[in-house]
Amino acid sequence: MARSVTTRHKTIATVAAWIVALLIFFPILYTIITSFKSEQEAIQGFSIIPSGTFESYTEVQAQSGYFKFFFNSVLLSVGSTILALLVAIPAAWSMAFSPTKRTKDILMWMLSTKMMPAVAVLFPIYLIFRDTGLLDSRIGLMIMLMLINLPIVVWMLYTYFREIPGEILEAARMDGASLWNEIVYVLTPMAVPGIASTMLLNIILAWNEAFWTIRLTTTEAAPLTAFISSFSSPQGLFWAKLSAASTLAIAPILIMGWFSQKQLVRGLTFGAVK
Amino acid sequence: MKLRTLTLGLLSASTLAFAAHAESITIATVNNGDMVRMQKLTEDFTKANPDIQLNWVTLEENVLRERVTTDIATKGGQYDVMTIGTYEVPIWAKQSWLLPLDKLGDDYDAKDIIPAIAGGLSVDGKLYAAPFYGESSFVMYRKDLMDKAGLKMPDAPTWDFIKQAADKMTDRANGVNGVCLRGKAGWGENMAFLTAMSNSFGARWFDENWKPQFDQPEWKNTLQFYVDLMKADGPEGASSNGFNENLALFQQGKCGMWIDATVAASFVSDPKNSTVADKVGYALAPDNGLGKRGNWLWAWSLAIPAGTQKADAAEKFVSWATSKHYAELVASKEGWANVPPGTRSSLYANAEYQKAAPFAKMTLDSINAADPTHPTVKPVPYVGVQFVAIPEFQGLGTTVGQLFSAALAGQSSVDDALKQAQDAATAAMTEGGYIK
């Protein structure tokens, strides 16, 4: 009796989880479906059965070369993540293992920078980029993406590092390890799951960032967000083309997320039940 | 010896590289059919100008407007040519953000530009943007449904006739709405239509002292007529419909009439995409017998920002893209029906164009009927038919558009929407220093 109740609960929970997952995934699924419709079909109303045409993909590729934007997206998301980790690992180490009275305040202040709307600093940032010659440059955008995601990276790493017993680091120190060796050979290998999930999350955030990547680029450094933006038309039907462009833009990150989901979930729930 | 050879080699290579280096100009534009076509045809320009390379940045309309404004205000110099509308040109030219176009070439024939369009792009007699395509608005209607209703559309209908025809054509059981009009909130969406419509009702945004006029009976008449018409004969969910949504409805045969941009004529008469391509007739935008019609005036135009370092190359490109030669190039490659409309008088005198575009005469008549300097019956302190050419209008126009869209959706009454519009406009004008 008890077993059948448990099984029924499990089934209900599984069905509920599937429904929630489908609801969350549905906008993406519908975008993909729409990309296989003609423009007329796309605007006709809700329908989950497309005619299966590839004309939007052909047109999107003919209008703007996808691969240049794709290459920039890869470079910017991976580059900004590496930069962020280089800065955040030492910062999180010092906060986790040598905290001061102000550590919590600093962490909160870092997070508070994320609470400001980006548009509030558009002009100052634009002027800085203009004066330093960084407008439409990959390196400038990499630094920008690193800076906007840094608070989250530091926070995540700080949480993971706090899970590592300080005694292990002390033992390494007693064995004569320098600070550098302690971080590189002791701390980092132990925090690999946390660092990996932080890295993956940061790549996703950088890949999807659309405010700065559209506003600070023109032709050379424009990533896939700019590619998507170019298919919206004030006069003319564009939903199918926009959906095809969006599908092409999200496909790489979706595939990456699919293959690394175990790592991501493990990292994100690390220490959650402590 | 080896070092000298290497140095000489490097010097020669760098000299050659420098000589072969083309000047590149960056063009910011929107993703409209005519713009996309221009990008495909640029080989004609680069062949004639091998020293100029073209880079394109295509953006969503509002993002483009914001990006270009940021760049131009900070003198970022990211763009050498940009696509802007009739709204921006007078404002930006007055702020010295644009270069006057006075070197378009001897064979450019600037006098051929339709006077109403040229007037909207000029400040103190100087042209600050060259029109790439221009438009007004007019009535597109289903001839078969009009026949069925036992009516004949006059060339210059009144609003009363439109109401009468819409009532007769509406057949909701068969999915036919008598009339489709813009309802989606936005200064360039429902407010473009409603402002132009209000002109024909004698309404105005501001009096000569910049006092908002939404508390006047002319606005009440405009908005009440619009809401009543749409409730009786408009499509379901009309408050979400903009140009593209109405285009799809009309092409699917779900609208008896559609009053919108003249540029839509080439879409609705295209048999590849429109199920009613051979059944469409055209008429001037309606009036109320007050001397003004409800049609607007707009031109997507190419302008050169003052911050560019490549003004000469940019002007060469602008001259090419808006020339008679470009119109002939499009005609030779894609047919006369695809030539960008609404910019040059010579196009409308061309028999081949008239044959390919049955809406040509009505388009020209509509453009000529709009006067941006005297948009409505009473005098106004601003320029612009379906907008007010002041920087505050983008924000204010969208706010008022949201209020009117809510009235159409039945979320508020016409009186409440007008009262709130009056309050919002008064606050914006006071803050902007227009009302002392």
* Interfacial residues of B (vs A; Cβ cutoff 8 Å): 26, 28, 30-33, 36, 39, 55-61, 63, 66-67, 70-71, 73-79, 188, 243-245, 247-248, 251-252, 261, 263-264, 267, 273
Enter the DSSP assignment of B286.
P
What is the pLDDT, as a whole number, of residue B3?
A: 53
Chain B residue at shortest CA distance from A121? B70
Residues in chain B: 436
Q: Which fold has domain A65-229?
A: MetI-like fold (1.10.3720)
Q: Is residue B228 very low, low, confident or very high in pLDDT (cuts 50, 70, 90)?
A: very high
Q: Is residue B16 very low, low, confident or very high in pLDDT (cuts 50, 70, 90)?
A: very low
Reported ipTM: the value is 0.77
Three-class DSSP category at B282: strand
Show the tokens assigned to B230: 């749409």
Residue A274 pLDDT greater than 70, yes or no: no
Q: Is residue B7 very low, low, confident or very high in pLDDT (cuts 50, 70, 90)?
A: low
Percentages helix, strand, coil for chain A (3-state, rounded to 5) are 75, 0, 25
Q: Mean of the per-residue pLDDT values for chain B? A: 91
Residue A1 pLDDT greater than 60, yes or no: no
Residues of chain B with CATH 3.40.190.10: 18-128+297-356, 137-296+373-431
CB-count burial class (<10 Å; 0-12, 13-18, 19+) for B174: exposed
Judged by a CB distance cut-off of 8 A, whether residue A67 touches chain B is no
Chain A residue at shortest CA distance from B254? A44
Residue B219 pLDDT greater than 80, yes or no: yes
- Cβ-Cβ contacts under 8 Å for B166 (sequence gap 6 or more): B178, B179, B229, B232, B233, B256, B257
Quote the percentage of chain B above a pLDDT of 70: 95
Residues in B touching A66 (Cβ below 8 Å) = none
Cβ pairs A/B, distance under 8 A: 90
C-alpha to C-alpha distances, B379 to A71, B207, B389, nearest whole angstrom: 56, 7, 15
Chain B residue at shortest CA distance from A218? B57
The model's pLDDT over B362-372, given as tens digits with 9 standing for 90+, comes to 999 999 989 88
Quote the percentage of chain B above a pLDDT of 90: 78
Chain A residue at shortest CA distance from B38? A63
Per-domain residue ranges of chain A = 65-229
Residue B17 pLDDT greater than 70, yes or no: no
The model's pLDDT over B44-90, given as tens digits with 9 standing for 90+, comes to 999 999 999 999 998 888 888 888 888 888 888 899 999 999 999 99
C-alpha to C-alpha distances, A96 to A167, A169, B241, nearest whole angstrom: 13, 12, 54
Judged by a CB distance cut-off of 8 A, whether residue A122 touches chain B is yes
Judged by a CB distance cut-off of 8 A, whether residue A181 touches chain B is no
Residues in chain A: 274
* Closest listed residue to residue B253, CA positions, set B273, B233, B231, B275: B275
What is the pLDDT, as a whole number, of residue B338?
A: 87
Whole-angstrom Cα Rg for chain B: 24
What is the pLDDT, as a whole number, of residue B1?
A: 46
Residue A267 pLDDT greater than 80, yes or no: no
The model's pLDDT over A105-136, given as tens digits with 9 standing for 90+, comes to 999 999 898 888 998 999 999 999 999 999 99
Task: Give the type of residue at B378.
Answer: K
Across B118-126, average pLDDT: 92
CB-count burial class (<10 Å; 0-12, 13-18, 19+) for A140: buried
Give the integer Cα–Cα distance in Å for B46 and A109: 53
Considering only the top CATH level, what class is B18-128+297-356? alpha beta
Give the integer Cα–Cα distance in Å for B169 and B143: 11
> Are A126 and B245 an interchain contact pair (Cβ–Cβ within 8 Å)?
no
Give the integer Cα–Cα distance in Å for B391 and B374: 19
The model's pLDDT over A43-97, given as tens digits with 9 standing for 90+, comes to 877 889 999 899 999 988 888 789 999 999 999 999 999 999 999 999 998 999 8
Residue B20 pLDDT greater than 80, yes or no: no
Q: Mean of the per-residue pLDDT values for chain A? A: 89
> Are B63 and A222 an interchain contact pair (Cβ–Cβ within 8 Å)?
no
Give the integer Cα–Cα distance in Å for A13 and B252: 44
> Are B74 and A130 an interchain contact pair (Cβ–Cβ within 8 Å)?
yes
The model's pLDDT over A229-257, given as tens digits with 9 standing for 90+, comes to 888 877 778 889 999 999 999 999 989 88
The model's pLDDT over A186-196, given as tens digits with 9 standing for 90+, comes to 888 888 888 98
Nearest to A135 among B66, B76, B244 (CB): B76
pTM of the model: 0.83
CB-count burial class (<10 Å; 0-12, 13-18, 19+) for A271: exposed
What is the pLDDT, as a whole number, of residue B112?
A: 95
Across B323-350, average pLDDT: 93
Show the tokens assigned to B46: 């680069």
Task: Give the type of residue at B415.
Answer: D
Across B306-320, average pLDDT: 94
Distance from CA of B248 to the nearest CA of A (A): 7
What is the pLDDT, as a whole number, of residue B138?
A: 95
Considering only the top CATH level, what class is B137-296+373-431? alpha beta
Nearest to B70 among A44, A126, A237 (CB): A126
